[in-house]
Amino acid sequence: MKTNELKLVYFSPTGTTRRVVMETARHLGLKSVSFDFSVYKTKKPMLKFNETDFTLFAAPVYGGRVPALFTEYLENITGRNTPAALIVTYGCRDYEDALLEMKTVVESHGFKVIGAAAFPTEHSIVRTIGARRPNKEDMKVIADFGVELNRRIKKEASFDQIDIHVPGNTPYRKYSSSSFTPKTDASRCTECGSCARVCPAGAISLKDPKKTDSKKCISCMKCIRICKQYARNVSPLKMRIAEGKLKKVCQNDRQADIFL
Ligand SMILES: Cc1cc2nc3c(=O)[nH]c(=O)nc-3n(C[C@H](O)[C@H](O)[C@H](O)COP(=O)(O)O)c2cc1C
């Protein structure tokens, strides 16, 4: 089967998943089109892909699951026996049911999964965990994943016989929304609105960026990273407690799991 175009469908609030996707794509060596769902869209776009497309789906792990916001976008994307690969990135704790969940959703929408990977990275909430990962060695493993996918696409006449198994359990882990809603330091905020414009959940008011809807906020940390005034943050006490807890359950030297 000739593959014409690579479709990159991803969610990456703080940019790590995007880095992993781009490195994989570079080694897939196909013309690519990106669908980045890290910026809030009130209307979820409907996308239809063909048998001659190859789709790379990618997201960070939130509480051992695929972020619910990303699954909402996936609901509107359909394939026609379209080959696909899956990537999850996670902050050196665990990815539990995330790959299984992503595989189940995309396969129910007409995609055929021919490869999957879970890559340990820097933790986007507590950045001392897995700090600066993916590092040079990680990038090599990610590149090799892209090369292997490319080989598989070129070699196989049909993908029907391929049956990828990924870890995970059903029912999936219950995700209780994270309690790390960032607050605004009014003395620093210049109301420039950058945080509101980039928020993937549309949780920050465009009219008054000092206001955050904690029910909509997914605690992705994007507003903290984008704010040039350092006006957005989670309370230092909360962060210290989170760091203490996470340090007990995360391993900075976790290695990638590849399923081919
Ligand atoms: C709300 C939230 C929940 C997270 N849950 C997990 C988790 O269950 N396991 C884990 O190892 N890392 C977890 N992480 C860390 C991210 O999965 C990881 O840092 C990811 O690479 C961030 O991707 P991004 O830079 O593309 O946003 C979580 C991060 C956030 C913000």
87 contacts 17 by C-beta, under 8 angstroms: yes
Is the pTM for the entire model greater than 0.95? Answer: yes
Pick 183-233's CATH classification: 3.30.1490.20, 3.20.20.70, 3.40.50.800, 3.30.70.20: 3.30.70.20
Rounded CA gap, 203 and 154, in Å?
43
So where are the chain's domains?
A: 5-165+252-259, 183-233
Counting every residue written for the chain, the total comes to 260
Q: Given the CA of residue 124, which atom of ligand 1 is nearest to it?
A: 19
pLDDT tens for residues 58-106? 999 999 999 999 999 999 999 999 999 999 999 999 999 999 999 999 9
Rounded CA gap, 250 and 254, in Å?
8
pLDDT tens for residues 212-259? 999 999 999 999 999 999 999 999 999 999 999 999 999 999 999 999
231 contacts 185 by C-beta, under 8 angstroms: yes
Pick 5-165+252-259's CATH classification: 3.60.110.10, 2.130.10.10, 3.40.50.360, 3.40.30.10: 3.40.50.360
Q: Given the CA of residue 121, which atom of ligand 1 is nearest to it?
A: 21
- Quote the ligand 1 centre to 211 CA distance (angstroms): 24
Rounded CA gap, 21 and 87, in Å?
8
- Quote the ligand 1 centre to 91 CA distance (angstroms): 5
- Quote the ligand 1 centre to 201 CA distance (angstroms): 16
pLDDT tens for residues 153-202? 988 778 888 999 999 999 999 998 778 999 999 999 999 999 999 999 99
Q: Nearest to residue 175, comparing CAs of 68, 84, 71? A: 68
